[in-house]
Amino acid sequence: MSYANADDDVLEDTLVADYREQVTYDEDTALERTDSLSGPADLRAQLEAAAAPLEFQASLETKFASYDNYCSLFHYILNSDGPVEIEQPSYYWAWDVIDEFIYQFQAFHSYRSRLARTAPNEEEAQILRENPNTWGCYSVLNVLYSLIQRSQINEQLAAQKRNEDPNAVAGDYGTRPLYRNLGYFSIIGLLRVHCLLGDFSLALKTLDDIEMNKKAMFARVMAAHLNTYYYVGFSYMMLRRYADAVRMFSHILVYVSRTKNFQKGNQSFDAIAKKTEQMYALIAICVSFAPARLDDTIHTALREKYGEKFAKLQRGGTDSLPIYKELFQSACPKFIAPTPPDFDNPSLNIDPVEHHTEIFMDEVKNTLFNPTVKSYLKLYSTMDLKKLSSFLEVDPEQLRSWLLVNKQRSRQVRWSEGGLLEGEVVNGSELDYAIEGDLIHISEAKQGRRLVDWYLRNLVRSY
């Protein structure tokens, strides 16, 4: 993303000031935050509870009760006769509500999945078996989509892009901050939920009307800013768009480094630190797949955090496999299964995290010897396929298939503007090559367009 330097500095300063305000807000007591709301006492209590984190060791009964409370709250907000007339303390609160709602949804699914795969507590298993729709994917998605639709937030964002008045399309509900903010952060919530479900294309599609820059509303809430770039970057990585993933992770990591002086002491510090650690792990993976120039701060941090592990990733080979798996499982979202587990047949239940790890590791194995092959190709302008196969100790036809697959994989879509799924197809490798018979013709990527079109057409046809 490119910005004018002066405007960029002003926006950064504004965001830093906003984050300082959030630290103050987060340190307010629950009573003070409740008193800033106006409306019926019971609704104020529900709104406060919706933004408050649930205890990690909460009982199953408490988790069911929390789900019922959210259903009651969102039903009232969405289905009352006209907009609910209540004033929220700030848009930080709206993010807290959506964030906690999705966190409890994810935590419940992880708990249920783990219980179903192990020797289950029969009493709890029976309760879960009899209530398959509690914290169901359909219910959660329905709430998020309903808040978006009721607030007309996508229409408002589209109008802003056209430099038109968003209030003209907001309707009675969308003009209220309560609905507008809940609707806006529900879009970010959808990004997260679709990513948890493993639908990475749909995750990126949900952000079509949100501009990925520092003027976006999510950028004014530190947790939302962090989560948005994490899930967008992770989705890009799983779609093999490594350059875009690196750009997203780099953007937010540089910003976090600017605000670290007043993160300590804030109750969200641990969450921020954990998420940034995850993104450092993911950026190390992406750079090993598609080498890229990094900000000096990020490059130094990678060397300090991972040292020899980072060097092994860049060298490739079988020694890197356990490192890839370790970093991926420590940094990936806590995926969930879209359907209830089978409590009667624990062996049939697959851990969603393990499932996505296997998919990722298949991709790793396809690119495992990229660094070694590139080191040979850099030495030649033309090379015999059989000669290269003898260096690598693999069958020539197996090498041919591998080269064709990786040739195709090196051509990535790179985003610059518009929807996050859009972009221009570019060569993501510093080398380009084409195969004619048993000869490999090699050139630098910037000269790759000069390769004979016939070679390129045959590569695509062969693949």
Asked, for residue 447, whether it belongs to a domain, the answer is yes
Cα separation, 177 vs 155, in Å, equals: 15
74/167 same-domain check: yes
Express each pLDDT in 78-88 by its tens digit.
Answer: 998 889 887 77
Asked, for residue 37, whether it belongs to a domain, the answer is no
247/265 same-domain check: yes
164/194 same-domain check: yes
Residue (of 132, 153, 137, 165) closest to 64 by Cα position: 132
Q: Where are the alpha helices (DSSP H) in 27-121?
A: 30-35, 41-51, 60-79, 91-117
Report residue 349 as tokens: 């239940």
For the chain, 463 residues long, the average pLDDT of each consecutive 10-residue run is 48 56 41 38 75 86 93 92 80 90 95 86 88 94 96 94 92 92 96 97 95 85 93 96 94 85 59 92 92 88 90 86 96 94 88 95 84 79 85 83 78 85 82 82 56 38 36
Asked, for residue 17, whether it belongs to a domain, the answer is no
101/188 same-domain check: yes
Give me the DSSP letters along 222-239. HHHHHHHHHHHHHHHHHT
| Structural domain range at position 150 | 55-213
Q: How many domains does the chain have?
A: 3
Asked, for residue 38, whether it belongs to a domain, the answer is no
Which of 348, 367, 386 is the last residue before a domain boundary?
367
351/386 same-domain check: no
Q: What share of the chain is helix, strand, coil (3-state, %, to 5)?
A: 70, 5, 25
419/441 same-domain check: yes
Asked, for residue 395, whether it belongs to a domain, the answer is yes
Asked, for residue 8, whether it belongs to a domain, the answer is no
266/249 same-domain check: yes
179/227 same-domain check: no
Which of 213, 241, 270 is the last residue before a domain boundary?
213
pTM to 2 decimal places: 0.85
Which of 352, 367, 382 is the last residue before a domain boundary?
367
198/179 same-domain check: yes
User: What is the per-residue pLDDT for 9?
Assistant: 55
User: What is the per-residue pLDDT for 357?
Assistant: 97
Cα separation, 437 vs 365, in Å, equals: 26
91/136 same-domain check: yes
259/209 same-domain check: no
User: What is the per-residue pLDDT for 8?
Assistant: 54
> Is the CB of residue 177 less than 8 Å from the CB of residue 183?
no
Q: Which residues contact 137 (CB under 8 A, 6 or more apart)?
A: 193, 197, 336, 338
Report residue 237 as tokens: 């990585």
327/293 same-domain check: yes
